Amino acid sequence: MKKYLTVPALVLVLALCGCSNKNTPSEGGASSDHTTVVVSSGESSVSEPVSSVSESSLAEVSSQPVESSTEVAESTVPESGLPFLVGLAGDIVQPSEITMVFTNDGSDCAPADLTEEKFSGVVCDGFTYVAEPSKAARNAIDDADVFDSANMRFTDLTPARVKNYVRLNVGDTMCGLTLKEAQVNFARGSEQETFEMNDGSTKLGSELGLREIYFKTSTAKFEGELAMEGYICRIAEDAYGVGAGDIIFVPSDGEANFPIMSYRLSGDDGFYHTSQLYSLSGLTWQNEFGYVYLGNAVDTTADISALPDDGSFVKATVTVTDPELTCGLNFVSAVKAELTDVEIIV
């Protein structure tokens, strides 16, 4: 029996219901490259932007990956299949990978018989699209000398639009973590949106010439262990996107050694990921994903007795296992893992 990951399927249903609107994500999506963001374990939430970043202020788009830690079998990137369903690695989706089909008239259709005219959405199991992490990060404690609090930015870290997605199949490895379970959704929607180009003109998504225009969202579960240094916090009271007792962790520069799942779409640059600015519970930081959700204090089996109960961040080394990643197009990515050990750094 096929096992479905429910979060991407929910995002797909929302997409099929027409929840997107002219390249502006609905509540829960990030609408600018610098945003104050809070993310809970099961959903993404966004408050008002803390600063705006113009198109021209972003660094040049890069397609050069960092040093690769990915182990992918040569046969894991299909080249034939349904030509209108193209992934972020340039691969073509195979009918055998599709586990759920939505047609535009509601009729039943076998994956092998699906055409672009009939297509409304599909759910695929067994693969995902992620990127090698740059591991670049800043926070207002360790990097106070480069933090411009007046303009809410780190002066030495310029967001770049990076295009280095790879396809991982179940069993493939990245950053020492093995992909255990994955799901990808494709659906109509983006091709009908209006995108403002850098030169001020507008184009429909269908006019951008992007073969991967139907890509929407993905979830992935990895197997493996990570040790990271950074800042940990036990949330003191319910807030926007987090609940009392939630444990969150923000890795320091060079520490976030896990795959990056972040999907943004620009009319000029296509699909890309970038670093963003975040602020929560008194800490401001910038990285490629936000924070790692480590469960709630009432559920964790790790010894967290040394964590403050006032909601403040403290420096620590954590050991976590089996990270899970979820991200929808133009939504904030959600990263969670099992906390097995924490050591406060004094």
Q: What are the residues whose beta carbons fall under 8 Å from the beta carbon of 95, sequence distance 6 or more?
A: 81, 82, 110, 111, 112, 114
Instruction: Tell me if 24 is assigned to some domain.
Output: no
Residues spanned by the domain of 205: 6-15+33-344
Helices in the chain by DSSP H: which ranges? 6-16
Beta pairing partners, 124: 98, 184
Instruction: Tell me if 312 is assigned to some domain.
Output: yes
**Residue of 326, 239, 248 whose CA lies nearest to 294:** 248
Instruction: Tell me if 22 is assigned to some domain.
Output: no
pLDDT at 45 over 50: no
- State pLDDT tens for residues 229-246: 999 999 999 988 899 999
Window from 15-24, 90-99, 116-125, 259-268 with minimum mean pLDDT: 15-24
Q: List phi, psi (to 5°) of 187.
A: -160, 160
Instruction: Tell me if 96 is assigned to some domain.
Output: yes
Contact 183, 107 (CB under 8 A): no
Q: What are the residues whose beta carbons fall under 8 Å from the beta carbon of 58, sequence distance 6 or more?
A: 33, 158, 159, 160, 161, 274
- State pLDDT tens for residues 74-128: 445 555 789 999 999 999 999 999 999 999 999 999 999 999 999 999 999 999 9
Distances (CA, A) of 334 to 39, 104, 218: 7, 30, 11
If one counts the domains in the chain, the total is 1
Distances (CA, A) of 76 to 43, 94, 123, 305: 30, 11, 18, 45
Instruction: Tell me if 21 is assigned to some domain.
Output: no
Mean pLDDT of the chain: 84
User: Average of pLDDT values for 139-160?
Assistant: 96
Could you give the percent of the chain with pLDDT greater than 70? 77
User: Average of pLDDT values for 320-344?
Assistant: 97
Give the tokens for residue 323: 């990270």
Instruction: Tell me if 330 is assigned to some domain.
Output: yes
Instruction: Tell me if 23 is assigned to some domain.
Output: no
Instruction: Tell me if 224 is assigned to some domain.
Output: yes
